[in-house]
Amino acid sequence: MHNHKFYFNGCSITNGHGFKYQEKDSRLYTNLVSKNHVNHASRGASNLKIFLQTSKAIIDGIADIYVVQWSGLHRHWVYPAPDKGIYFGSPKDPKNRIVTENDKLIAHYQLLNHDYGNIIQLLDFCFILQDQAQCHNCRLIFINGIVEWSNNEEWMYNLVADAEDHDIAVESLKNNIELVDWNLWINPWCSFYTMSKSLDLAEDNLHPGPKTHKQIADMLKEKLKV
């Protein structure tokens, strides 16, 4: 591993939020795996942003091993001005604060932002990166950062409860899942964030802590042996 250059992308977890020195903190999983790396992760990053940046990095050939930490399904950004971005994450708790027009817009957007379409899109991102990595003869590994999903059929039927034809929706989801190379994943069905709840949290009491990062680093190192 010491002879390889790594590329990491993801959201605030991979960016090191919650740690004093953020992405430079020695306890961060990226630094535990390799000192020779590029880290393009950013706070609040959507899966679309992570996908586009990683795709470009693979095409440019900036590393030998690409590690992609997928973020929350619902995340989205809009830019009303070149230097102003609005984060369409989860609606903020209005308790003890003034609810702005942006808060109302975000809340309405999330009501229309169903996870089914976001999951299909994420699977598409995986297909494309798989093909690119194969074409460019490089290693690709996926990490579940904050993706809350399951391959359990009952969970799938609950997900498509609002669909006109539940069976068709579930069958389509299963077909897409089968196209993913799950051997590229180190923790497909248990997110980094969920793992941290039973291990530890960082100094901000929100992001995964050093024990969780070490667990991910160990899993990643084990995957790289294969």
Domains, the chain, ordered by start? 6-74+114-224 (3.40.50.1110), 77-112 (no CATH)
Q: How far apart are CA 222 and CA 17, in angstroms?
A: 25
The first and second tokens of residue 224, run together, are 């790289």
Tell me the CA distances in angstroms from 192 to 3, 65, 84, 213, one per residue in order: 27, 20, 29, 9
The model's confidence at residue 121, banded by pLDDT at 50, 70 and 90, is: very high
Is this prediction's pTM over 0.75?
yes
Q: What is the pLDDT of residue 104?
A: 81
Q: How far apart are CA 98 and CA 79, in angstroms?
A: 22
Tell me the CA distances in angstroms from 106 to 5, 56, 76, 94, 103, one per residue in order: 39, 29, 10, 12, 5
- Tell me how far apart the 2 most distant CA atoms of the chain are, in Å: 53
Asked whether residue 14 carries a pLDDT value surpassing 60, the answer given is yes
The model's confidence at residue 125, banded by pLDDT at 50, 70 and 90, is: very high
Q: Are strands 77-81 and 65-70 parallel, antiparallel or unpaired?
A: unpaired
Q: How far apart are CA 129 and CA 119, in angstroms?
A: 15
Tell me the CA distances in angstroms from 214 to 6, 32, 41, one per residue in order: 17, 7, 18
The model's confidence at residue 131, banded by pLDDT at 50, 70 and 90, is: very high
Q: Kindly write down the DSSP assignment for every residue of the chain, as one continuous string.
A: -TTSPEEEE-SHHHHTTTSTTGGG-TTSHHHHH-SSEEE---TT--HHHHHHHHHHHHHHT--SEEEEEE--TT--EEEEETTEEEE-SSPPP-TTSPPPHHHHHHHHHHHH--HHHHHHHHHHHHHHHHHHHHHTT-EEEEEESS------HHHHHHHTTTSS-HHHHHHHHHHHHHTS-GGGBSSSSS-HHHHHHHS-B-TTSSSB-HHHHHHHHHHHHHHHT-
Cβ atoms within 10 Å of 156's Cβ, excluding its own: 20
Give the mean pLDDT of 92-114: 72
The first and second tokens of residue 15, run together, are 């960016």
The model's confidence at residue 135, banded by pLDDT at 50, 70 and 90, is: very high
The model's confidence at residue 113, banded by pLDDT at 50, 70 and 90, is: confident
